[in-house]
Amino acid sequence: MEALLDEAQRSYPDQPSGPEDRWWLPAHLGGTAPTPEEAAVRDAEFARGAGKTEKPARKGISRVADLVRRRR
């Protein structure tokens, strides 16, 4: 089963378009995708709120006003 998976991953027709596009490719094939264990840790951290460090984007007029002020 592992040999079939490895062959499928190596022969997949789509390839990363550059260094920033390697997030989906497994590390053993040169990508940056987390292992299942690493992904589980990240998911647990996110569920606890550790991944919520960014401010949500403001909507409506106030957001547009901010953008206009920055352009001046």
pTM higher than 0.95? no
When divided into structural domains, the chain yields a total of 1
Q: Decide which of 13 and 71 is more confident.
A: 13
pLDDT for res 65:
62
Mean pLDDT of the chain: 80
Structural domain boundaries enclosing 60 = 2-71
Task: Flag whether pLDDT at 40 surpasses 60.
Answer: yes
Residue 39's closest CA among 30, 27, 29?
27
How confident is residue 49, by pLDDT bands cut at 50, 70 and 90? confident
